[in-house]
């Protein structure tokens, strides 16, 4: 992964990294899986009870649409940009969350923690 200096594992040491892709990728030290459900099963079978999902809106939407999300952390930065993607595009998606916590991480980043009731 060219986006991370030293590779993805150097950026996330001591973390099991799973990449979702429909392509036939081969990345040293990383597991490539084709769907969110298969990724959750793979990590659950390895004994993981919590999974952190990072990615773009397509990845977030896949996990939301497959009802695989229990908590969401939104980090708000006071910058408005166009075409940043939309979370929650599925027509049948109707998942309710409650506000668990909110805090300032820095003087310019606010975090909102949501969880399923």
Q: What is the mean pLDDT of residues 14-19?
A: 86
Query: pLDDT of 22-67, one tens digit each?
Result: 888 887 778 899 999 999 999 999 999 999 998 888 999 999 999 9
Mention every residue, 6+ apart, whose C-beta is less than 8 A from residue 83.
none
- Tell me the whole-structure pTM to 2 decimals: 0.79
Q: What is the mean pLDDT of residues 97-105?
A: 96
SS3 state of residue 75? strand
pLDDT value at position 1?
Answer: 43
Say yes or no to pLDDT of 17 above 50.
Answer: yes
């Amino acid at each position: 992964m060219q986006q991370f200096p030293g590779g993805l594992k150097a950026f996330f040491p001591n973390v099991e990294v799973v990449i979702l892709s429909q392509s036939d990728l081969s990345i040293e030290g990383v597991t490539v899986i084709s769907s969110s459900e298969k990724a959750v099963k793979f990590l659950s079978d390895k004994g993981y009870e919590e999974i952190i999902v990072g990615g773009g809106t397509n990845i977030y939407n896949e996990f939301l649409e497959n009802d695989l999300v229990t908590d969401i952390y939104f980090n708000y930065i006071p910058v408005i940009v166009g075409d940043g993607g939309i979370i929650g595009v599925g027509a049948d998606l109707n998942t309710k969350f409650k506000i668990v916590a909110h805090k300032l991480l820095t003087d310019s980043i606010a975090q909102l923690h949501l969880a399923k009731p």
